[in-house]
A and B are shown apart, each in its own frame.
Chain A
């Protein structure tokens, strides 16, 4: 099974600071159809997850453009350019390239 290793597990940031989260896969996430099904989610306390980024780098409608995704193959990154208070919560990467989905372990973003 594919393993997604997400780092760091915890991230402390000040408002306005830029931060990055890494998601590394044990196998390539490039699908035979040419797409890479790697998404980024944010789960705020007490809420279901919400989609931020899909297909590695595409910004979901309504999501602020301070969020960006990059990467390919097995190595992916989520960047927040200027953290705001509403960004606090737990971030997850998730792959659905392979029939059995996998989630990263999560990165908790806290205020410093």
Chain B
């Protein structure tokens, strides 16, 4: 059974950093591109970043470029999202997803002083 389990969310002050993790199981992680998608309270889904199966290619939405870094450790079957210089508008539930076919339960990130 495919499972994606996010961790690392919580309350953080504006300008600070936070790192999310997504532990994958039930499939060969190193064969798949992965992505982070977020959803602000009462809003729709918003793509954040994508990484290729081997980590060689990464893509970001404009509003997080230069602040967020997506990465992966295929040996640990884990996806990461390093978030720096956080802003109030980054407040959202963050989901990791395998090409939009499998999704984690999500982790809440609240950026507030």
Contact = CB atoms under 8 A, between A and B. Distances in A.
Interface stretch (A10-18, A23-31, A46-54, A80-88): A46-54
A41 B47 contact: no
Contact of B103 (A49, A99, A106): A49
Q: Classify the interface of chain B: helix, strand, loop or mixed.
A: strand
Interface in B29-72: 35, 37, 44-47, 50, 57, 59, 61
* Interface residue tally on B, bucketed by range: 20 to 34
Given A101-B50, A103-B44, A48 B105 contact: yes
A105 interface: yes
Interface in A97-112: 99-106
Contacts of A103: 37, 44-47
B80 interface: no
A39 interface: yes
A92 B61 contact: no
A74 interface: no
Interface residues of A, number: 21
B101 interface: yes
A71 B59 CA distance: 27
Contact of A96 (B45, B57, B99, B105): B99
B94 to A, nearest CB: 11
B95 A48 contact: yes
Interface of A: 39, 41, 43, 48-51, 54, 60, 90, 92, 94, 96, 99-106
